[in-house]
A = this chain, B = another copy of it.
């Protein structure tokens, strides 16, 4: 049974039409773009895109997590974005035929689809609906990037950590147990903090009774309204 399942999985490559906005394409356009797509299996740590590489197309993450990052002069990573399943990256460089600005690396074993630039442009030309959806997607990418930039530049380190933690909790909860999305080093890089600063802020929150560690990646948030106030001021 297990063997059959595995064989079946190997026979069924991930379908582009399972992912937005490609699900908007009509059969002929969808067939054309699907025919040109290339599946990529990436091992944990594999570099998928390197800064200054010419973009070959857009990478769609079918399964896994890919971090998009730049390196500071001291060699430390600054993560600008983590692309999870269903997200894509490199679409701006591909559409403009410009080199990639950031590096992209698989954070764990990943399945991806590479949609070549020409096929992406042809799909935009073939379908007005798809073109509009791509436009909105690009607007969202720009807006999200600006938000990241704004958070990293504007908020203090304490605010950034409080903001990160409250985002993992339900909106109205006062109390809850959360699970950190990744290891602390990655979280620090995402918040543009050193791991030492992140640890210092977390220790401060523990002393204030705002959080309580639970296991390796678990955490109890005990006074969420106070943490939200902290994120905002």
Binding site for B on A (CB under 8 A): 51, 70-73, 78, 80, 91-93, 95-96, 98, 101-102, 124-125, 128, 131-132, 134-136, 138-143, 145-147, 149-150, 153-156, 159, 192
Contact = CB atoms under 8 A, between A and B. Distances in A.
A71 B141 CA distance: 21
Given A70-B150, A142-B141, A145-B142, A136 B102 contact: no
B143 A145 contact: no
B80 A136 contact: no
A16 to B, nearest CB: 19
Q: How many chain copies?
A: 2
A66 to B, nearest CB: 15
Given A70-B154, A134-B135, 9 more contacts: A73-B154, A80-B146, A92-B142, A93-B143, A96-B139, A102-B146, A124-B135, A131-B135, A145-B149
A139 B132 CA distance: 13
A59 to B, nearest CB: 15
Given A131-B128, A132-B124, A142 B138 contact: yes
Dominant SS among interface residues on chain A: helix
Nearest to A159: B73
B71 A139 contact: no
Contact of A150 (B92, B101, B132, B159): B101
23 contacts: A72-B154, A73-B155, A73-B156, A73-B159, A78-B153, A92-B139, A92-B140, A95-B139, A96-B136, A96-B143, A101-B143, A101-B147, A101-B150, A102-B146, A102-B150, A124-B135, A128-B131, A131-B131, A131-B132, A131-B135, A134-B135, A135-B135, A149-B149
Contacts of A125: 132
Contacts of A102: 146, 150
A161 to B, nearest CB: 14
A82 B131 CA distance: 28
